[in-house]
Structure 1
Amino acid sequence: MADSGDIRFLLAIRDGGSLLVAARKLGVTPSAVTQRLQQLEKKLSVRLIDRTARRLRLTPEGELLCQRGGDLVQQFDALFDELRHHSAELVGTLKVNAPLGFGRRHLASVVADFQQANPDIDIALTLSDQPLAETIDRFDVVVHIGELQISNLVGHAVAPNARFVCASPAFVKRHGMPASPDDLARLPCIVLRENNEDVSLWHFSRGQTSRSVRVSSKLSCNDGDVIRQWARAGRGVILRSEWDVAEDLAAGKLVRLLPAWKTPDANVVALTHNRAGLPARIRHFTQYLQERFRPSPPWRK
Structure 2
Amino acid sequence: MRNDINLLSLRLFLDVAASGSFSEAARRNGLPPSSVSRHIQALEQQLGQNLLFRHTRAVTLTEIGAIYCGEVRDVLAALDLASERARGAADAPSGLLRINAPVAFGRRHIAPLLAAYQARHRQVEIDLALTDGFIDPVAESTDIVIRIGRMPDSSLTGRQLTPQRYVLAASPDYLERHGDAPTPEALPQHNCLIYKGTNGAQKWYFRQAGEAFRSTVVRGNLTSNNAESLVEAALAGQGLVLFPTWLLHEELRAGRLVALMPDREASIDTATYGIHLIYPESRLRSLKVRSFRDYLIEAIGAPPYWDRDEVR
Q: What TM-score, normalized to structure 2?
A: 0.62
The alpha carbon displacement at 1:124 in A equals 0.3
Matched, 1:189 2:196: no
| Rounded Cα–Cα distance in structure 1 between residues aligned with 2:292 and 2:117 | 7
- From the superposition, tell whether residues 177 and 198 of structure 1 become closer, same or farther in structure 2 (CA, over 3 Å): same
Gap runs ≥5 in structure 1: 1-78
| Rounded Cα–Cα distance in structure 2 between residues aligned with 1:175 and 1:95 | 47
- From the superposition, tell whether residues 252 and 277 of structure 1 become closer, same or farther in structure 2 (CA, over 3 Å): closer
CA contact (8 A) 2:84 2:95 kept: no
Which of residues 292, 297, 300 is equivalent to 2:304? 297
Q: In the alignment, what sits opposite 1:201?
A: 203
Q: In the alignment, what sits opposite 1:284?
A: 291
CA contact (8 A) 1:169 1:253 kept: yes
The alpha carbon displacement at 1:202 in A equals 1.2
| Rounded Cα–Cα distance in structure 1 between residues aligned with 2:240 and 2:250 | 17
| Rounded Cα–Cα distance in structure 2 between residues aligned with 1:159 and 1:112 | 21
Q: In the alignment, what sits opposite 1:245?
A: 248
Matched, 1:148 2:155: no
Matched, 1:107 2:110: yes
Aligned-pair identity in percent equals 30
Q: How many residues align?
A: 220
Runs (4 or more) in structure 1 with deviation over 4 Å come to 86-89
Which of residues 156, 171, 176 is equivalent to 1:173? 176
Matched, 1:85 2:85: yes
Q: Which has the larger radius of gyration?
A: 1
Matched, 1:274 2:276: no
Matches within 5 A, 1:115-126: 115-126=118-129
Gap runs ≥5 in structure 2: 1-78
Q: In the alignment, what sits opposite 2:35?
A: none
Q: Give 3-state SS (helix, strand or coil) of 1:179's partner.
A: coil
| Rounded Cα–Cα distance in structure 1 between residues aligned with 2:172 and 2:84 | 58
| Rounded Cα–Cα distance in structure 2 between residues aligned with 1:135 and 1:112 | 26
What RMSD in Å do the two structures reach over aligned CA positions? 2.7
| Rounded Cα–Cα distance in structure 1 between residues aligned with 2:152 and 2:201 | 15
- From the superposition, tell whether residues 152 and 214 of structure 1 become closer, same or farther in structure 2 (CA, over 3 Å): farther
CA contact (8 A) 2:84 2:94 kept: no
Q: Give 3-state SS (helix, strand or coil) of 1:144's partner.
A: strand
Matches within 5 A, 1:49-64: none
Q: What TM-score, normalized to structure 1?
A: 0.64
